[in-house]
Protein backbone atom coordinates (compact mmCIF):
# COMPACT_ATOMS: atom_id res chain seq x y z
CA UNK A 1 0.00 0.00 0.00
CA UNK A 2 2.65 2.54 1.10
CA UNK A 3 4.86 1.37 -1.72
CA UNK A 4 2.25 2.46 -4.28
CA UNK A 5 2.01 5.90 -2.67
CA UNK A 6 5.82 6.27 -2.70
CA UNK A 7 5.78 5.45 -6.39
CA UNK A 8 3.02 8.02 -7.03
CA UNK A 9 4.96 10.70 -5.16
CA UNK A 10 8.08 9.90 -7.14
CA UNK A 11 6.21 10.05 -10.45
CA UNK A 12 4.44 13.31 -9.56
CA UNK A 13 7.81 14.98 -8.87
CA UNK A 14 9.32 13.67 -12.10
CA UNK A 15 6.23 14.88 -14.02
CA UNK A 16 6.72 18.39 -12.53
CA UNK A 17 3.16 18.26 -11.22
CA UNK A 18 2.98 20.41 -8.10
CA UNK A 19 -0.78 19.95 -7.56
CA UNK A 20 -0.61 16.19 -7.99
CA UNK A 21 2.37 15.95 -5.60
CA UNK A 22 0.45 17.94 -3.01
CA UNK A 23 -2.65 15.75 -3.44
CA UNK A 24 -0.74 12.46 -3.21
CA UNK A 25 1.13 13.75 -0.13
CA UNK A 26 -2.23 14.60 1.43
CA UNK A 27 -3.51 11.10 0.66
CA UNK A 28 -0.38 9.65 2.26
CA UNK A 29 -1.09 11.64 5.42
CA UNK A 30 -4.75 10.56 5.46
CA UNK A 31 -3.74 6.91 5.04
CA UNK A 32 -1.30 7.14 7.94
CA UNK A 33 1.79 6.55 5.79
CA UNK A 34 4.97 7.49 7.69
CA UNK A 35 5.74 11.05 6.54
CA UNK A 36 9.51 10.64 6.83
CA UNK A 37 9.40 7.57 4.61
CA UNK A 38 7.14 9.36 2.15
CA UNK A 39 9.81 12.07 1.83
CA UNK A 40 12.73 9.65 1.51
CA UNK A 41 11.17 6.86 -0.52
CA UNK A 42 8.86 9.05 -2.61
CA UNK A 43 9.93 12.66 -3.09
CA UNK A 44 13.71 12.15 -2.82
CA UNK A 45 13.58 9.16 -5.17
CA UNK A 46 11.74 11.42 -7.64
CA UNK A 47 14.51 14.04 -7.40
CA UNK A 48 17.08 11.31 -8.01
CA UNK A 49 15.35 10.44 -11.29
CA UNK A 50 15.28 14.15 -12.13
CA UNK A 51 19.05 14.30 -11.53
CA UNK A 52 19.55 11.41 -13.94
CA UNK A 53 17.36 13.06 -16.57
CA UNK A 54 19.32 16.31 -16.18
CA UNK A 55 22.55 14.45 -16.74
CA UNK A 56 21.11 12.71 -19.81
CA UNK A 57 19.98 16.14 -21.08
CA UNK A 58 16.36 15.01 -21.13
CA UNK A 59 15.59 17.74 -18.59
CA UNK A 60 17.12 21.21 -18.44
CA UNK A 61 17.19 23.86 -15.74
CA UNK A 62 13.53 25.00 -16.15
CA UNK A 63 12.27 21.41 -15.83
CA UNK A 64 14.50 20.73 -12.84
CA UNK A 65 13.16 23.81 -11.09
CA UNK A 66 9.55 22.75 -11.71
CA UNK A 67 10.37 19.30 -10.27
CA UNK A 68 11.91 20.90 -7.22
CA UNK A 69 8.80 23.09 -6.78
CA UNK A 70 6.72 19.90 -6.88
CA UNK A 71 8.98 18.27 -4.30
CA UNK A 72 8.73 21.30 -2.03
CA UNK A 73 4.92 21.27 -2.33
CA UNK A 74 4.95 17.66 -1.12
CA UNK A 75 7.33 18.50 1.72
CA UNK A 76 5.08 21.34 2.85
CA UNK A 77 2.22 18.86 3.29
CA UNK A 78 4.32 16.13 4.91
CA UNK A 79 6.61 18.18 7.15
CA UNK A 80 4.11 18.79 10.00
CA UNK A 81 3.54 15.02 10.15
CA UNK A 82 7.17 13.97 10.45
CA UNK A 83 7.45 12.42 13.89
CA UNK A 84 9.57 14.55 16.18
CA UNK A 85 11.66 12.84 18.79
CA UNK A 86 10.65 14.16 22.17
CA UNK A 87 12.79 14.51 25.25
CA UNK A 88 16.17 14.52 23.54
CA UNK A 89 18.81 17.10 24.49
CA UNK A 90 18.59 19.91 21.95
CA UNK A 91 22.05 19.82 20.41
CA UNK A 92 22.65 22.68 18.01
CA UNK A 93 23.60 22.47 14.36
CA UNK A 94 24.58 25.37 12.11
CA UNK A 95 24.07 24.31 8.51
CA UNK A 96 24.47 25.87 5.09
CA UNK A 97 25.59 25.44 1.49
CA UNK A 98 29.14 26.72 1.02
CA UNK A 99 30.04 29.88 -0.85
CA UNK A 100 29.76 29.61 -4.63
CA UNK A 101 27.03 26.97 -4.59
CA UNK A 102 23.29 27.58 -4.70
CA UNK A 103 22.07 23.94 -4.72
CA UNK A 104 20.01 23.73 -1.54
CA UNK A 105 17.47 20.93 -2.03
CA UNK A 106 19.60 18.33 -0.23
CA UNK A 107 20.61 20.70 2.56
CA UNK A 108 16.93 21.55 3.14
CA UNK A 109 16.10 17.85 3.50
CA UNK A 110 18.94 17.35 5.97
CA UNK A 111 17.67 20.31 7.97
CA UNK A 112 14.09 18.97 8.09
CA UNK A 113 15.16 15.51 9.26
CA UNK A 114 17.65 16.85 11.79
CA UNK A 115 14.93 19.06 13.27
CA UNK A 116 12.63 16.04 13.40
CA UNK A 117 15.47 14.16 15.09
CA UNK A 118 15.47 16.70 17.92
CA UNK A 119 18.31 19.01 16.85
CA UNK A 120 18.03 22.78 16.98
CA UNK A 121 19.03 23.79 13.46
CA UNK A 122 20.29 27.23 12.40
CA UNK A 123 20.01 27.43 8.62
CA UNK A 124 22.41 29.88 6.96
CA UNK A 125 20.93 29.22 3.50
CA UNK A 126 23.01 28.81 0.37
CA UNK A 127 26.10 30.46 -1.12
CA UNK A 128 27.18 31.15 2.45
CA UNK A 129 30.38 33.19 3.00
CA UNK A 130 32.77 30.85 4.80
CA UNK A 131 33.35 33.00 7.90
CA UNK A 132 29.61 32.93 8.55
CA UNK A 133 29.66 29.24 9.43
CA UNK A 134 32.12 29.98 12.21
CA UNK A 135 30.63 33.27 13.39
CA UNK A 136 27.15 31.74 13.70
CA UNK A 137 28.46 28.62 15.42
CA UNK A 138 30.25 30.77 18.00
CA UNK A 139 27.19 33.03 18.43
CA UNK A 140 24.72 30.21 19.12
CA UNK A 141 27.26 27.91 20.81
CA UNK A 142 26.65 25.21 18.25
CA UNK A 143 27.74 21.61 18.66
CA UNK A 144 28.00 20.86 14.95
CA UNK A 145 28.84 22.82 11.81
CA UNK A 146 27.14 21.15 8.81
CA UNK A 147 28.24 22.01 5.28
CA UNK A 148 26.74 20.99 1.98
CA UNK A 149 27.89 21.27 -1.61
CA UNK A 150 26.89 19.68 -4.91
CA UNK A 151 29.75 21.01 -7.01
CA UNK A 152 33.33 19.87 -7.30
CA UNK A 153 34.41 23.51 -7.81
CA UNK A 154 33.21 24.45 -4.31
CA UNK A 155 34.18 21.31 -2.35
CA UNK A 156 37.48 22.79 -1.21
CA UNK A 157 35.63 25.57 0.61
CA UNK A 158 34.76 22.97 3.24
CA UNK A 159 38.45 22.41 3.94
CA UNK A 160 38.95 26.17 4.08
CA UNK A 161 36.38 26.44 6.87
CA UNK A 162 38.27 23.78 8.83
CA UNK A 163 41.54 25.67 8.30
CA UNK A 164 39.81 28.87 9.47
CA UNK A 165 38.59 27.07 12.59
CA UNK A 166 42.16 25.99 13.31
CA UNK A 167 43.39 29.53 12.68
CA UNK A 168 40.92 30.90 15.20
CA UNK A 169 41.79 28.17 17.71
CA UNK A 170 38.24 26.84 17.56
CA UNK A 171 38.71 23.48 15.86
CA UNK A 172 38.10 21.46 19.02
CA UNK A 173 34.92 23.36 19.85
CA UNK A 174 32.79 22.14 16.94
CA UNK A 175 32.22 18.86 15.17
CA UNK A 176 32.25 19.30 11.39
CA UNK A 177 29.78 17.25 9.35
CA UNK A 178 29.78 17.39 5.55
CA UNK A 179 27.73 16.05 2.65
CA UNK A 180 26.50 16.56 -0.89
CA UNK A 181 26.83 14.84 -4.28
CA UNK A 182 30.62 14.89 -4.83
CA UNK A 183 31.49 14.39 -1.14
CA UNK A 184 32.79 11.07 0.14
CA UNK A 185 34.24 9.62 3.31
CA UNK A 186 37.71 9.80 1.82
CA UNK A 187 37.26 13.51 1.02
CA UNK A 188 36.06 14.06 4.60
CA UNK A 189 39.19 12.28 5.86
CA UNK A 190 41.41 14.34 3.59
CA UNK A 191 40.14 17.70 4.84
CA UNK A 192 39.86 16.52 8.47
CA UNK A 193 36.07 16.69 8.84
CA UNK A 194 34.60 14.72 11.75
CA UNK A 195 31.82 13.09 9.76
CA UNK A 196 30.25 12.51 6.37
CA UNK A 197 26.81 11.17 5.48
CA UNK A 198 25.47 10.28 2.04
CA UNK A 199 21.81 11.14 2.70
CA UNK A 200 19.50 12.98 5.05
CA UNK A 201 18.57 9.96 7.17
CA UNK A 202 22.17 9.01 7.83
CA UNK A 203 22.98 12.69 8.41
CA UNK A 204 20.81 12.50 11.54
CA UNK A 205 22.46 9.27 12.65
CA UNK A 206 25.92 10.70 12.10
CA UNK A 207 25.06 13.96 13.90
CA UNK A 208 23.95 11.90 16.91
CA UNK A 209 27.15 9.89 16.82
CA UNK A 210 29.24 13.06 16.71
CA UNK A 211 27.61 14.53 19.83
CA UNK A 212 27.46 11.15 21.53
CA UNK A 213 23.68 11.13 21.96
Residue 110 sits in the site that holds ligand B12 (CB under 6 A): yes
Strand ranges (E), 63-143: 92-97, 120-123
Shortest reach from residue 86's CB to ligand B12, in Å: 23
Sheet of strand 195-196: strand arrangement: 120-123, 92-97, 144-148, 175-179, 195-196
Cα of 185 vs its chain's centroid, Å: 17
Q: Which is nearer to ligand B12, 10 or 107 (CB)?
A: 107
Residue 102 sits in the site that holds ligand B12 (CB under 6 A): yes
Residue 148 sits in the site that holds ligand B12 (CB under 6 A): yes
Residue 208 sits in the site that holds ligand B12 (CB under 6 A): no
Q: Which is nearer to ligand B12, 24 or 201 (CB)?
A: 201
Among 44, 112, 193, 210, binds ligand B12 (CB under 6 A): 44
Provide the CB-side half-sphere exposure for 164 (13 A, CA). 17
Q: Residue 95 and residue 122: Cα distance in Å, rounded?
A: 6
Residues in touch with ligand B12 (CB under 6 A): 44, 47, 50-51, 54-55, 61, 64-65, 68, 100-107, 109-110, 146-148, 150-153, 177-182, 197, 199-200, 203
Amino acid sequence: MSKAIFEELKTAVVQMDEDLTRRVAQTAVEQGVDACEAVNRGLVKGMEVVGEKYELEEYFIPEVLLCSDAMNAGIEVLKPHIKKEAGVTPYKVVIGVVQGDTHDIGKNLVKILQEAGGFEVYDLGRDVPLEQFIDKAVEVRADIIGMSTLMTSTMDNMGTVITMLQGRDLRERFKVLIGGGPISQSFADTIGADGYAPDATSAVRMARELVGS
